[in-house]
């Protein structure tokens, strides 16, 4: 009897130890829109890549992917900002391990827990129930499993996650056999451009040993290109389309503002040049012939010669030779 109890104890210990080493994922179930969601978990081994896939709605549709690294402690952590209110599902797959997933809600109208619909395709088929503690229904275990199985790995197995809607049992992982290994490639970032090429390294998370769906690992870096999604299993999701902003035609002002600027500047320069010429360089002109006569007469009385008077008038006034001759002639006439 003692040997039987010891065997059962060792079996339970080994089972709990194996569960402790399995890939895990942990996340709070309810969040407010605009709040960053933290995804945490553990892997079986240290220093491995962890692929993350975020789905939305029921059934879940992939809307985003990410990749982090489980460090020396085998723990990984990632953040995600949900774009809208609703139910989200997160899948985590450590390198070479089966994936696990969990769900969380965003917004007041979304809940996950006891009382939710079982999510089966056939509403007439209830969830499998396992007897638990006795009582008025509170001790009954009600399991709900994901409708999505992981892709077939090198061990020719698939897995999915089941959780107890009554919260009497811990989340468990179901496995089943599959026929052929499905490649699941993840790639490092592209290297710097060197000799007109960039390179990266891609690894099949399932180690299928085939290269049927391996992504390109070398590309030219001289041509313009738009990089696609990085580290995405090519057979598990289709990247969401990105709507580019519509092109905006430049306004009339944006097209011709520099023409207006230079036109106004040229007009100002011409006006300034005319002003300077008229104010500083143009010869000043006498107001009338009588003033000219009076000035000539005054200069002659002062002893200025006729040639000097003519020179002064030509250099400093706008009087013409004919008008100067007229003024000299009028001064020669005898007074009547």
The string of DSSP codes covering 82-128 is --SSEEEEEEEEETTS--EEEEEEESTT---STTS----S-TTSPPP
Query: What pLDDT was estimated at residue 257?
Result: 86
Q: Chain centroid to CA 64: how far? A: 14
User: Are the CB atoms for 42 and 19 separated by under 8 Å?
Assistant: no
Please state the rounded mean pLDDT for residues 287-302: 80
Please state the rounded mean pLDDT for residues 58-77: 85
- The β-bridge relationship of strands 172-177 and 157-164 is antiparallel
Q: Which residues have CB under 8 Å from 73's CB, separation 6+?
A: 46
* Distance between CA atoms of residues 37 and 179, nearest Å: 36
pLDDT surpasses 80 at 100: yes
Please state the rounded mean pLDDT for residues 195-205: 90
pLDDT tens for 114-164 read: 434 343 433 333 444 433 333 334 456 677 887 778 878 878 888 888 877
Q: Which of 10-19, 204-213, 225-234, 236-245 has the highest mean pLDDT?
A: 204-213
Query: What pLDDT was estimated at residue 16?
Result: 45
pLDDT tens for 247-270 read: 667 778 888 888 889 999 999 999
Please state the rounded mean pLDDT for residues 223-246: 58
Confidence of residue 200 (pLDDT cuts 50, 70, 90): very high
* Distance between CA atoms of residues 194 and 202, nearest Å: 19
* Distance between CA atoms of residues 100 and 87, nearest Å: 17
Query: What pLDDT was estimated at residue 227?
Result: 58
Where in the chain are the domains? 289-332
* Average pLDDT for the chain: 75
Query: What pLDDT was estimated at residue 174?
Result: 83
Query: What pLDDT was estimated at residue 3?
Result: 55
Q: Which helix (H) or strand (E) holds 10?
A: helix 2-21
Q: Which of 16-30, 58-72, 102-116 has the lowest mean pLDDT?
A: 16-30
- Residue, of 239 and 319, whose pLDDT is higher: 319
* Distance between CA atoms of residues 160 and 166, nearest Å: 19
Confidence of residue 244 (pLDDT cuts 50, 70, 90): low
pLDDT surpasses 80 at 308: yes
Q: Which of 54-58, 94-98, 259-263 has the highest mean pLDDT?
A: 259-263
Q: Which of 22-26, 50-54, 264-268, 292-296 has the highest mean pLDDT?
A: 264-268
Query: What pLDDT was estimated at residue 105?
Result: 84
């Amino acid at each position: 009897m003692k040997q039987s109890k010891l065997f059962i104890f060792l079996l339970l210990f080994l089972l709990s130890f194996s569960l402790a080493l399995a890939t895990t994922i942990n996340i709070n179930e309810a969040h407010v829109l605009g709040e960053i969601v933290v995804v945490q978990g553990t892997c079986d081994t240290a220093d491995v890549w962890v692929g993350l896939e975020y789905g939305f709605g029921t059934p879940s549709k992939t809307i985003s992917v990410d990749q982090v690294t489980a460090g020396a402690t085998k723990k990984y952590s990632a953040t995600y900002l949900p774009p809208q209110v609703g139910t989200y599902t997160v899948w985590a797959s450590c390198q070479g391990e089966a994936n696990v997933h969990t769900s969380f809600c965003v917004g007041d109208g979304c809940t996950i827990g006891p009382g939710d619909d079982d999510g089966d395709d056939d509403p007439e088929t209830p969830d499998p129930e396992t007897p638990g503690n006795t009582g008025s229904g509170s001790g009954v275990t009600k399991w709900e499993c994901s409708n999505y199985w992981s892709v077939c790995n090198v061990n020719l197995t698939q897995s999915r996650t089941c959780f107890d809607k009554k919260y009497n049992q811990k989340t468990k992982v179901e496995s089943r056999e599959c026929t052929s290994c499905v490649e699941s490639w993840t790639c490092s970032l592209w290297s710097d451009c060197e000799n007109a090429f960039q390179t990266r390294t891609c690894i099949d998370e399932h180690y299928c040993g085939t290269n049927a769906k391996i992504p390109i690992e070398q590309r030219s870096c001289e041509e313009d290109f738009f990089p696609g999604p990085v580290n995405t299993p090519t057979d598990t999701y289709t990247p969401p389309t990105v709507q580019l902003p519509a092109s905006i035609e430049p306004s009339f002002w944006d097209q011709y503002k520099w023409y207006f600027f230079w036109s106004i500047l040229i007009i100002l320069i011409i006006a300034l040049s005319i002003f300077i010429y008229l104010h500083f360089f143009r010869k000043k002109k006498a107001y009338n012939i009588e003033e000219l006569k009076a000035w000539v007469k005054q200069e002659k009385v002062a002893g200025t010669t006729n040639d000097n008077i003519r020179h002064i008038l030509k250099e400093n006034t706008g009087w013409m030779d004919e008008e100067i001759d007229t003024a000299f002639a009028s001064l020669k006439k005898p007074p009547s």
